[in-house]
């Protein structure tokens, strides 16, 4: 429980820092985080595959990244509601149990539906998606940290004004992130700085070509 509390505190601090990078007073802007949640759910379904008229192979790595993208917006919604605390971490830990044979598509649709109905993020519906995948809380934390660093990198390199180049050397930046993150030790205190520096070096080399 203590580990999951520390992980949630870490993610909350990173999310608040990123949101302040987007807007210093992000909590009062009325951003529709629920809308981002259900749209990300649709993107997640595309990576699972849902088209019965042609062969599709699930891209599990991209599915996990989409789950983390949903969590960025869900966590923002929870932070704005002052609902991120040790009790939430304990609840997440108690509910995070892999469910064998669960229908991941149905769980994703249920999360999208509750976002649309409530215009808010439903943590239990989100945990159902994680359990159906399955994806544990440790994995959520580790992938989240990497994606958060990438989001900060994007903002620093012109994401909002449209000058950021998302495709490097024929691959999306998410693919570069996964490759770089796999080569680093997340337990190192310098992990975030190391990851950012590696992204900087690779991006700079690609965009100078």
- Could you please report the per-residue DSSP string of 168-180? ETTEEHHHHHHHH
Please compute the mean of the pLDDT values over residues 32-38 and round it to a whole number. 98
Residue 1 has a pLDDT of 57
Instruction: Please tell me the pTM assigned to this model.
Output: 0.88
pLDDT value of position 205: 86
Burial 59-78 (b: 16+ CB within 10 A, else e): eeebbbbbbbbbbbbbbbbb
Tokens, residue 81: 């509601």
What confidence score (pLDDT) does residue 174 get? 87
Domains contained in the chain, CATH given: 2-143 (1.10.4010.10)
Share of the chain above pLDDT 70, in %: 99
What confidence category does residue 11 fall into, taking pLDDT thresholds of 50, 70 and 90?
very high
Average pLDDT, the chain: 93
In the predicted model, what is the mean pLDDT of residues 191-204?
A: 92
Q: Residue 100's pLDDT is what?
A: 83
Work out the pLDDT band at 141, boundaries 50, 70, 90: very high
Residue 209 pLDDT exceeds 80: no
Q: Is the pLDDT of residue 175 over 90?
A: no
Percent of the chain with pLDDT strictly greater than 90 = 76
Q: Long-range contact list for 112-121, CB < 8 A, 24+ apart?
A: 112/37, 112/38, 112/41, 112/42, 115/34, 115/35, 115/37, 115/38, 115/41, 116/34, 116/38, 118/34, 119/32, 119/34, 120/34, 120/77, 120/81, 121/33, 121/34, 121/37, 121/73, 121/74, 121/77, 121/78
Q: What is the pLDDT of residues 78-137, one digit of tens each?
A: 999 999 999 999 999 999 998 888 899 999 999 999 999 999 999 999 999 999 999 999
Q: Is the pLDDT of residue 14 over 60?
A: yes
């Amino acid at each position: 429980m203590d580990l999951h509390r520390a992980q949630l505190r870490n993610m909350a601090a990173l999310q608040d820092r990123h949101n302040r990078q987007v807007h210093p007073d992000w909590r009062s802007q009325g951003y529709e985080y629920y809308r981002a949640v259900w749209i990300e759910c649709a993107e997640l379904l595309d990576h699972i595959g849902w088209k019965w008229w042609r062969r599709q192979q699930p891209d599990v790595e991209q599915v996990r990244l989409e789950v983390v993208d949903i969590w960025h917006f869900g966590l923002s919604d929870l932070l704005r509601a002052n609902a991120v605390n040790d009790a939430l971490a304990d609840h997440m830990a108690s509910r995070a149990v892999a469910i064998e044979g669960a229908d991941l598509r149905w769980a994703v649709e249920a999360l999208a539906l509750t976002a649309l109905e409530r215009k808010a993020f439903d943590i239990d519906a989100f945990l159902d998606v994680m359990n159906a995948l399955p994806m544990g809380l440790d994995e959520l934390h580790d992938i989240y940290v990497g994606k958060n660093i990438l989001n900060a990198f994007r903002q620093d390199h012109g994401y909002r004004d449209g000058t950021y180049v998302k495709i490097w050397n024929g691959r999306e930046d998410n693919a570069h992130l996964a490759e770089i993150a796999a080569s680093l030790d997340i337990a190192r205190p310098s992990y975030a700085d190391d990851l950012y520096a590696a992204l900087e070096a690779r991006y700079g080399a690609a965009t100078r070509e």
